[in-house]
Each structure stands twice: as structure tokens, then as C-alpha cells.
């Protein structure tokens, strides 16, 4: 286990290096001039040249990349070209909001999606199974922006039960800001729980027909023990991969949902920075998203050994 973790951590270095090249190349090739956007159309060529020199944009691309990577290694992500604030500070403000939203949506998706998937598998080819499958398809088909606007229209505008946007005042107690999480959490959780339920149903159908499940029933074990102790634990092995990908995607920022609810998270920060050509912020946020997905993949691999003792994390595995 320890040697596996060491190898995975060592593999993070070349992966992050390759990701940094791709991120920097994409940003460098992006259309638009951030200096012109910052100074406006009335700026003189001398002012534009001076600002480009101050930002280091007059240097060759390899030199700019080397300077940027050196700064990133020292956790210096630069400063925003729009408001001159440190990029690390902007990300540190946005990421906790995204983390709270991701945890709430992920938990709600699991609490509803896993039981629905299990129940549909246990009642396979029945009317209940057909109804659950239809609801899952509907949850996947409904666009997040449309659902978010409908929830705002009903619960914020018409009924005035919940706030339509934002996260509340920074100084207020944490429990008072929970009401701001309700609508975006439901919006994100609907599609995620549909994905979880479909994968759990498929995995459970495969496991319920396995020999070890029939043996457990032949031994006289009660049905809950057969389902939850034997079938579900083995069915979660392929499902965990999907859970990890979805959770990593949520931590990377639910862009559409955060935009609809004006939620100041990581996804909205990236979209706003792209619109403003604030490339240092975009680069820093994208590197954080890459790191999140890489760390999530390690956690997913470790969970395989916990769910199934037959899975060993050895060299070459």
C-alpha cells in the first residue's frame, strides 16, 4: 500500500507538468488581447507596450512559461490583470463555496440515488423499475439552467421561501447561509442522483445473479444481509469510479449552476475570468481543477481495496 501511494504521488509530477504545458498553451493561443481589454481602446501604443512589458507579455512564450511554472511551484499564481489581486487569494475565496456546494449536492445524490438504484434492481422489470428508470432519464434530460430558473421562479420569486442567488453575508453564522445552498444543491443533485441510480441498478443486476449471492441465500441469510452486506458492497466497486469522477467534476465547479444562481464559486470565477481575459486567474484555477481530479483518482483507487479485499495495490497493478 505504501509503495503504491509513493508511486502514485511520483506520477503526479509528470502529469501536472504535462497539464501545465497544455493549460499555458491553450491560454496563450486564446483570442483577444488582455492588455487592450484592461486599458481600453483609447490607450496609446506606448501605454500598451509599457503594460505588456510590466506583465511580462513581451517575452517569448518559452520564457513566459518557465517563469510561470517557477512561480506556481512556489505557490505564486500571479496577480489578476483585472483587479490586481493575488490569484491565490481569489481562488481561496471561491473554492470553499464550491466545496460546500459540492459536498451538499454529492451527499443528497448518494442519499437518494443509491437506494433508488438498489430498489430498482431488486424489482427489475417491474412497474416500479420502469418508473424509476423513466425518472432517471428525465433527470438526465432536464437542462441544469432551465431547472435552476424554474426553482428560482417558484421558490424565490413566487413563494419567497428561499433566496434566489448569492451566499449571504460573509460575517453571518454558517447555518444562516444554508438557505442559499438549497436551490443550487437540488439543481446539481438531480442529474447526479440519476447517474448514480442508473449505475447502481446496472451493477446490482450483475451482482445479484452471481454465485456468491445465491450461496448466501442458500445458507439462510436474511435478504437485507444478502443485499447490503454481500451484493451492494461488490456492486459499488464499478460505481465508485463514477462517484469519483462526478465528485471531482463538482469540486472543479458546477459552471452552469453557479452562473444561474450567481453563486461565487470556482466555476463562476473561471467563466468571469475568461470573459475578462484575466488569464492568470484562469491558469491558476485550471491547474487546481487538474490537481483535484488527480487526487480524486488516487482516493478512488484506494477505495477499491477497501471494498474488495481481493483487490491488491501492488506493483504493476
Helix (H, G, I), strand (E, B) or coil at 138: helix
Residue located via cell numbers 465508485: 240
Helix (H, G, I), strand (E, B) or coil at 86: strand
C-alpha cell at 229: 452486506
Tell how many helices (H) and how many strands (E) occur in the chain: 14, 0
pLDDT band at 145 (very low <50, low <70, confident <90, very high): confident
pLDDT band at 203 (very low <50, low <70, confident <90, very high): confident
Instruction: Report CA dihedral (228, 231, 235, 236) to the nearest 10 degrees.
Output: 30
Cα–Cα dist 308/236, whole Å: 10
Q: What are phi and psi of 177, to 5 degrees?
A: -90, -5
Q: What is the mean pLDDT of residues 85-89?
A: 91
Q: What is the mean pLDDT of residues 59-67?
A: 87
The pLDDT value recorded for residue 220 is 80
> Does position 108 have pLDDT exceeding 80, yes or no?
yes
The answer to whether the CB of 278 falls within 8 A of the CB of 81 is yes
Between the two ends of the chain, the Cα-to-Cα distance in Å is 11
Helix (H, G, I), strand (E, B) or coil at 2: helix
> Does position 13 have pLDDT exceeding 80, yes or no?
yes
The pLDDT value recorded for residue 183 is 92
Cα–Cα dist 34/43, whole Å: 13
Cα of 239 vs its chain's centroid, Å: 17
pTM value is 0.82
**Burial call 47-64: b when 16+ CB within 10 Å, e when fewer:** ebeebbeebebeeeeeeb
Helix (H, G, I), strand (E, B) or coil at 309: coil
The pLDDT value recorded for residue 78 is 85
The pLDDT value recorded for residue 262 is 87
Of the candidates 183, 179, 194, 184, the one whose C-alpha atom is nearest the C-alpha of residue 257 is 184
> Does position 185 have pLDDT exceeding 90, yes or no?
yes
Is domain 87-307 given the CATH code 1.10.3720.10 in the classification?
A: yes
pLDDT band at 316 (very low <50, low <70, confident <90, very high): very low
Q: 40 in the Ramachandran plot: left (φ > 0), alpha (ψ -120 to 50) or beta?
A: left
The pLDDT value recorded for residue 317 is 45
The pLDDT value recorded for residue 48 is 79
Render pLDDT for 230-243 as a digit per residue (tens, 0 to 9): 787 778 777 888 88
What is the chain's mean pLDDT, rounded? 83
> Does position 2 have pLDDT exceeding 70, yes or no?
no
Residue located via cell numbers 462526478: 246
**Domain ranges within the chain, ordered by starting residue:** 2-73, 87-307
> Does position 217 have pLDDT exceeding 90, yes or no?
no
**Angle, helices 232-251/279-307, rounded to nearest 10 degrees:** 170
Higher-confidence residue of 299 and 181: namely 181
Residues ≥6 apart with Cβ < 8 Å to 73: none
Amino acid at each position: 500500500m505504501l509503495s503504491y501511494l509513493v508511486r502514485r504521488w511520483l506520477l503526479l509530477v509528470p502529469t501536472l507538468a504535462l497539464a501545465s504545458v497544455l493549460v499555458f498553451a491553450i491560454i496563450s493561443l486564446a483570442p483577444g488581447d488582455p492588455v487592450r481589454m484592461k486599458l481600453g481602446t483609447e490607450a496609446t501604443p506606448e501605454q500598451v507596450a509599457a503594460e505588456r512589458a510590466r506583465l511580462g507579455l513581451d517575452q517569448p512564450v518559452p520564457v513566459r512559461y518557465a517563469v510561470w511554472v517557477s512561480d506556481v511551484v512556489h505557490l505564486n499564481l500571479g496577480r489578476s490583470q483585472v483587479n490586481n489581486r493575488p490569484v491565490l487569494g481569489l481562488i481561496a475565496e471561491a473554492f470553499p463555496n464550491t466545496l460546500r456546494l459540492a459536498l451538499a449536492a454529492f451527499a443528497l445524490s448518494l442519499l437518494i440515488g443509491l437506494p433508488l438504484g438498489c430498489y430498482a434492481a431488486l424489482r427489475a422489470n417491474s412497474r416500479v423499475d420502469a418508473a424509476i428508470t423513466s425518472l432517471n432519464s428525465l433527470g438526465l434530460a432536464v437542462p441544469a439552467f432551465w431547472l435552476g430558473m424554474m426553482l428560482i421562479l417558484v421558490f424565490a420569486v413566487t413563494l419567497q421561501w428561499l433566496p434566489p442567488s448569492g451566499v449571504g453575508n460573509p460575517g453571518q453564522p454558517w447555518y444562516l447561509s444554508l438557505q442559499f445552498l438549497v436551490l443550487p444543491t437540488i439543481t446539481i443533485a438531480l442529474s447526479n442522483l440519476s447517474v448514480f441510480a442508473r449505475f447502481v441498478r446496472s451493477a446490482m443486476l450483475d451482482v445479484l445473479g452471481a454465485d456468491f449471492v445465491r450461496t448466501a441465500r442458500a445458507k439462510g441469510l436474511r435478504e437485507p444481509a444478502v443485499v447490503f452486506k454481500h451484493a451492494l458492497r461488490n456492486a459499488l466497486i464499478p460505481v465508485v469510479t463514477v462517484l469519483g469522477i462526478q465528485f471531482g467534476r463538482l469540486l472543479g465547479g458546477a459552471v452552469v449552476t453557479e452562473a444561474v444562481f450567481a453563486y461565487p464559486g470556482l466555476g463562476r470565477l473561471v467563466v468571469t475570468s475568461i470573459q475578462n481575459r484575466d488569464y492568470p486567474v484562469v491558469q491558476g484555477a485550471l491547474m487546481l481543477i487538474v490537481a483535484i481530479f488527480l487526487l480524486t483518482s488516487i482516493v478512488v483507487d484506494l477505495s477499491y481495496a477497501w471494498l474488495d479485499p481481493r483487490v491488491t495495490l501492488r506493483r504493476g497493478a
